[in-house]
Structure 1
Amino acid sequence: MQEGDKLFAGSIPALYDRFLVPLIFEAAAEDMAARVAEGDPAAVLEIAAGTGVVTRALAPRLGPECRYVVPDLNQPMLDHARSRQPEVPRLVWQAADALALPFEEASFDVVCCQFGVMFFPDRVAGFREARRVLRPGGRFILSTWDRLELSELPHCVTRAVDELYPDDPPRFLERTPHGYHDPERIRSDLAAAGFGSVAVDFLDAISAAPRAWDVATAFCQGTPMRNELEARGASLEAVTAHAARAVEREYGAGPVSGRIRALVVTAMP
């Protein structure tokens, strides 16, 4: 992972929430919310909440007395998430680093992290922090994307952008969101952090958008791929248009859809 991979600033949070969340995150968020709410936890920590797609799905499922803490390292993303969520007294928004959580040991029944662990500069350290704040018998539930080629729409956009920069292609999607997909590596990292029980499920879904342009905008302008493109002096509109034409050629000019796959991991100390 490169330093710019963690930079979600400027217009990225709003574009991310408008285009990328409905495209690839909402179905996974419903699955995550159902898993976390199982067993009626009394305290939940959601690490790397992003723009709050899991928060919006999970908050209504939790009991009225459940303490729900929602941190993110990136303040612009957290601000956007909070603006989309009704104020609830038991819901606590807090800027925090997943590698140095500002919470006491054994504070939460469930710790969850949807598509955030790929951004941890030290995953074992982050997992160790999740274990530290879990109560005995607690669960750590995380998700990560499978290989890029198993997620058809982002793979199509990546190939299209590669055509424009054959000698120096932007590699954000392959390097970071889709760069942590080996189940055995994940198991090994969790074991190194002190987790004894690890279960890995595969979540297959369909990502869909009203038009190809939405798909291209989602990835070219609503993710840190944008930072890579701007560093190359790219016209974002021109790159987005090129990627949209590629998606249209492969998936049609109207509503588009493609397969996408994630891993959902449940770990217990």
Structure 2
Amino acid sequence: MPEPDSLFSGSIPENYDRYMVPLIFEPYAADLASRVVSLSPRRVLETATGTGVVARFVLPRLPAGASYAATDLSPPMLEFAASVLSDPRVRWRAADALDLPFDDEAFDLVLCQFGAMFFPDRVRGYREALRVLSPGGTFVFSVWDALDSNDFAREVGEALAEMFPADPPTFMERIPHGYHDVGRIEQDLRDAGFTRITIDTITAQSIAPSALIAATAYCQGTPVRAEIEARDSGAVQQATERAAERIAERFGEGEIRGRIQALVITASD
């Protein structure tokens, strides 16, 4: 599998922000922002920032004197995030969540939206979050629930399996929707040193102006694009249209609505 920083390069950051963010990420960014604000942190670290959707929701609700470090392993994603969010409280920095370039106890809160699924060593990533937290600090993060609980992603996966039956793209099932076992998540956190853990299942609605927009989001705004191109370099648009047809068959024409579901985890020592 390619390195995570190369998965989100080329045109993916712009398409990701244009299509995926409003489709599935904004509802959970709003949820995380409410959780963050309720804890009144002064020093916040975000890992796996992506295109900055969480920061856009959190920063307006933080006090003027708060600081916010936004990090990501992918420079293209981080550069895009910095280009669309101008706030003097933010420090943008390319950094690996498994090897954070910060001192011990440097933050009151660490947050990560839909990044832990990409960590090659989750216990190490969680241990790093604990290391940089001050005593009594909190780690808040989210992961996607199973593919079957996320309507549009499931339909795209099934459409691509039909298109490439001998070698179906499996990125969505394998990575974004591959880390949802509550017992495993809790054990990983305990192995990292966290002792107080709460895991909430949050169901929301994914809304798209059309089935084609939803299909474009997944097929052209995520690493699914690279999986399609690896099988047929000229098939991205065909795959997008095929996925759109499948989504429209189930959810109709015009504006469509589907279920999205995620786990939101709060942990402290």
How far does residue 5 in structure 1 lie from its aligned partner after superposition?
5.6
How far does residue 203 in structure 1 lie from its aligned partner after superposition?
0.6
1:164 corresponds to 2:160: no
Q: For 1:154-193, what aligned pairs fall within 5 Å after superposition?
A: 154-193=153-192
1:61 corresponds to 2:53: no
Please say if residues 30 and 54 of structure 2, whose CA atoms lie closer than 8 Å, have aligned partners that are also in contact: yes
> Structure 1 counterpart of 2:91, which letter?
V
Q: Secondary structure at the match of 1:267?
A: strand
Write the distance in 2 (CA, Å) between the matches of 1:111 and 1:39.
Answer: 11
Write the distance in 2 (CA, Å) between the matches of 1:92 and 1:218.
Answer: 28
Q: Secondary structure at the match of 1:3?
A: coil
Extract unaligned runs of 5+ from structure 1: none
Please say if residues 152 and 260 of structure 1, whose CA atoms lie closer than 8 Å, have aligned partners that are also in contact: yes
Partner of 1:152: 151
- Report the RMSD for the aligned CA atoms in angstroms: 0.9
Please say if residues 4 and 74 of structure 2, whose CA atoms lie closer than 8 Å, have aligned partners that are also in contact: no
Write the distance in 1 (CA, Å) between the matches of 2:21 and 2:78.
Answer: 15
Q: Secondary structure at the match of 2:161?
A: helix
Q: Number of matched residues? A: 267
Write the distance in 1 (CA, Å) between the matches of 2:243 and 2:70.
Answer: 34
Please say if residues 118 and 177 of structure 1, whose CA atoms lie closer than 8 Å, have aligned partners that are also in contact: yes
Partner of 2:197: 198
Please say if residues 4 and 227 of structure 1, whose CA atoms lie closer than 8 Å, have aligned partners that are also in contact: no
Extract unaligned runs of 5+ from structure 2: none
Write the distance in 1 (CA, Å) between the matches of 2:239 and 2:268.
Answer: 44
Q: Secondary structure at the match of 2:177?
A: coil
Q: For 1:1-269, what aligned pairs fall within 5 Å after superposition?
A: 2-3=1-2, 7-86=7-86, 88-234=87-233, 235-269=235-269
Please say if residues 4 and 73 of structure 2, whose CA atoms lie closer than 8 Å, have aligned partners that are also in contact: no
Residue deviations 1:34-79, cap 9 Å, x none? 1112132110000100001101000101111111100000000001
Q: Which runs of 4+ in 1 moved over 3 A?
A: none
How far does residue 176 in structure 1 lie from its aligned partner after superposition?
0.4
How far does residue 167 in structure 1 lie from its aligned partner after superposition?
1.3
How far does residue 204 in structure 1 lie from its aligned partner after superposition?
0.5
Please say if residues 139 and 266 of structure 1, whose CA atoms lie closer than 8 Å, have aligned partners that are also in contact: yes
With normalisation by structure 2, the TM-score equals 0.98
Further displaced range: 77-86 or 3-12: 3-12
How far does residue 247 in structure 1 lie from its aligned partner after superposition?
0.8
With normalisation by structure 1, the TM-score equals 0.98
Write the distance in 2 (CA, Å) between the matches of 1:247 and 1:261.
Answer: 18
Q: Secondary structure at the match of 1:93?
A: strand
Please say if residues 119 and 176 of structure 1, whose CA atoms lie closer than 8 Å, have aligned partners that are also in contact: yes
Q: Secondary structure at the match of 1:140?
A: strand
Identity percentage over the alignment? 51
How far does residue 186 in structure 1 lie from its aligned partner after superposition?
0.3
